[in-house]
Structure 1
Amino acid sequence: MSDQQQYRREDLEKIFTACIAMSTLDGEIHLDEIKPVVSFIEGRWQSGYGDINKLSEEANESALEILKSHSLYKSLGGIAESLSGSLDQGQKDAVLKLLSTVLHADGEGHEMEHGMYDIFTRKFEA
């Protein structure tokens, strides 16, 4: 199956949320980490989904809640599990590629970022 199949709006929000959480683990958002995420979301946005800026706000709020929670990995595991159930293999591969891009965008992958990436890898392979 192809990555170009339609993504559900709620799946795009979960993908955006996970990427924002990963990119802000070190306390700052880097443009080189967020730019590929925005391109990914914009390239899969459907006209009936409403305002893309609203999605960005929702994803930012969700990511902030995850980062403030005491169960970061559990929260991300829930997102990964939910996406695993609704995405086809091509879409899962595209999300893993996007997460890898975010992970390595600043030239260094931090341990917690690798941990987040591993959660998605395990859930998508299950």
Structure 2
Amino acid sequence: MTQVTLAEIARFRSQFADYPTALQALQAIEDCEGDLEDAAIALAIRAGQQPEIANSDWLGILARKCRSVICRSEFRDDLLNGNFAEIVPYLAATSLCPALLATPVIMYVVLEGINDFCHPIDPVV
């Protein structure tokens, strides 16, 4: 279970005052008492998805499907600096992730650690 604190929710909320879809997702996360996976499953159902509820890594799998976008250098630098305002709407606009799930996906990646998450696709130097 990935737990999100109220402070982390507030940090995201402060960047999305003008993005209602992200605010809906953050409210769902708060309603699930910070349980990111439970909130993501509820949001997925709301978005017309049929997540495999028995699979506890469903959110991680979705995040990995979005890895090629999330790990782009311009987004990666923003994420490392705590700026989520660009990546969430961009990810929501792709066909990789329903808009309601973009915020939980990015929260998951931030909590996992950007560098660890992106490491599998980093070029070998």
**TM beyond 0.5:** no
Structure number with the higher helix fraction is: 1
TM-score range for the pair, normalised by the shorter chain length: 0.3 to 0.5
- Greater length-normalized contact order (CA 8 Å, ≥ 6 residues apart): 1
